[in-house]
Amino acid sequence: MNHWDYETLAVQTSIPRGLGESIGFPIHAVAAFQFDTLEEAQSEFQLNTGLSYARLQNPTVKALEDRVTALEGGAATVALASGQAASFTAILSVCRAGDHIVASSSLFGGSTGMLNNILPLMGIRATLVENHPDAIRAAMQDNTRLIWAEMIANPSGDIADIGALAQIAHERGALLAIDNTCGGAGYLCRPLDFGADIVTNSLTKWAGGHGSVMGGSVTVGTAHDLSRIPGFTDGGENSILKLRGQNALAWKQRWLGVQQLGMVASPHSAFLLAQGFETLALRLSRECDNALALAQWLQAHPKVGKVSYAGLPDHPHHHLAQKYLRHGSGAVLTFEVDDPSAFLSRLKVLRIAPNLGDVRTLVVHPWTTTHGRIPEAARLAAGVTARTIRMSVGVEALEDLKADIEQAL
């Protein structure tokens, strides 16, 4: 099945075949599953391989997880309540007190906040540096366990040089985690194919696709070396690596994210997200086409300042977009206007809302909203100025989007 393309996997994975089987999957709106005997219950509680309690496993959530695994080309996925829950699970599954993370500074504001404010409470420190392999290599320490970057950074459009980052991480016994949210959950890029060890997604964005549901995912690849990560090796014969072998990373993410911390996706959300995947390719390819056309048009517009979109030949990461992305350079771009407040208040088609991946074109002023709570220097490092507008391009008619932006300018 893995030789199928994204478009086929997205609609076929998790759908059973056979007489009377539904084409689609039911929402299992239940908290628990029953046993026939005490022995069956005991065995399930020891092995945790089947169904007992819906925080641990639910068939609708599993259908979503299998879909993400297939689409990201991974070995296993855990679905979570949000993208933030996914990032937290991915990081905490690798790092513990005393460990260090090197991250790109071109990040979603919530990730910067987690790295700078939440993880230090647990003794995990992060160094945020320019999104360039040389800067990341220079920031590596003996206790660095994880490199963290976004495939296509929100909102700057910077592209992670995943091949180079994987090499730096692996030389030092660390892992590479890529937030693939703006990579469209595997449609524009599958970071695991280029050496990443962990891929996270905010499924709220392109998987959901209609701004109607929240969710996240963490997917692990098939080959990763945990032998120099103390959180997996400490404990000798009882270490997680000894006990779980090849499944250690996937096991720890599920155990931590849903079983222990309870950041579980609801079956209703899982249903909507899995269904959203069925049209993701159609939506995102059209959104990429619209985004490129708008970026080119805005760049030539006399009333528009800097336009940042990796699909434009003068973006510093254009060559990385060509190396790692297929189908387009994403649906998000930024541009500068002189008076963001006046511009936003005049829009009639575009809507002001802090979301990405919606079928509708959404704009925000990151300086005062999505990135408003992080220090000014960090905002600038993330590619955000006081004049920046972030636009997540939807599927509307291109001419209507242009006309609306034109009258608002």
Contact residues: ligand PLP, CB under 6 A = 82-84, 87, 108, 110-111, 150, 154, 179, 181-182, 202, 204-205, 214, 216, 356
SS3 call for 172: coil
Provide the sign of the torsion angle of the four alpha carbons 33, 38, 40, 45, taken in this order.
positive
Q: Which among 354, 332, 330, 344 has a CA at the least distance from the CA of 404?
A: 344
Radius of gyration of the chain (CA): 21
Provide the sign of the torsion angle of the four alpha carbons 43, 90, 7, 287, taken in this order.
positive
User: Least distance (Å) from ligand PLP to the CB of residue 386?
Assistant: 21
User: Least distance (Å) from ligand PLP to the CB of residue 90?
Assistant: 11
Cα 65 from Cα 67, distance rounded (Å): 5
The residue number whose beta carbon is nearest to ligand PLP equals 83
Q: Find where tokens 């408003």 sit.
A: 372
Q: Which is nearer to ligand PLP, 153 or 226 (CB)?
A: 153
Q: Which is nearer to ligand PLP, 196 or 408 (CB)?
A: 196
Cα 301 from Cα 380, distance rounded (Å): 24
User: Least distance (Å) from ligand PLP to the CB of residue 150?
Assistant: 5
Q: Which is nearer to ligand PLP, 70 or 182 (CB)?
A: 182
SS3 call for 305: coil
Q: Which is nearer to ligand PLP, 52 or 201 (CB)?
A: 201
User: Least distance (Å) from ligand PLP to the CB of residue 84?
Assistant: 4
User: Least distance (Å) from ligand PLP to the CB of residue 272?
Assistant: 13
E strands along 61-174, which residues? 76-80, 100-104, 125-129, 144-150
Q: Which is nearer to ligand PLP, 52 or 106 (CB)?
A: 106
- Quote the crossing angle between the two packed helices 267-299 and 59-72, to the nearest 10°: 30
Q: Which is nearer to ligand PLP, 273 or 395 (CB)?
A: 273
**Residue 114 structure tokens:** 């987690």
User: Least distance (Å) from ligand PLP to the CB of residue 287?
Assistant: 15
Q: Which is nearer to ligand PLP, 166 or 382 (CB)?
A: 382
Q: Which is nearer to ligand PLP, 182 or 295 (CB)?
A: 182
**At 166, which amino acid appears?**
A
Q: Rounded to a whole number, what is the distance in angstroms from the first to the last CA of the chain?
A: 49
Q: Which is nearer to ligand PLP, 216 or 276 (CB)?
A: 216
CB-neighbour burial class of residue 53 (10 A; exposed 0-12, middle 13-18, buried 19+) = middle
Question: Within 13 Å, how many C-alpha atoms sit on residue 131's CB side?
Answer: 26
User: Least distance (Å) from ligand PLP to the CB of residue 110?
Assistant: 5
User: Least distance (Å) from ligand PLP to the CB of residue 232?
Assistant: 25
User: Least distance (Å) from ligand PLP to the CB of residue 265?
Assistant: 11
**Residue 319 structure tokens:** 């060559």
**At 303, which amino acid appears?**
K
**CA-to-CA separations, 367 to 106, 158, 347, 380, 389, in angstroms, rounded:** 14, 18, 19, 9, 9
Q: Which is nearer to ligand PLP, 87 or 290 (CB)?
A: 87
Residue 352's beta-bridge partner residues?
363
Instruction: Report whether 91 contacts 148 (CB < 8 A).
Output: yes
**At 393, which amino acid appears?**
V
User: Least distance (Å) from ligand PLP to the CB of residue 66?
Assistant: 20
Can you say how many angstroms the Cα of residue 253 is from the centroid of all Cα atoms in its chain?
A: 15
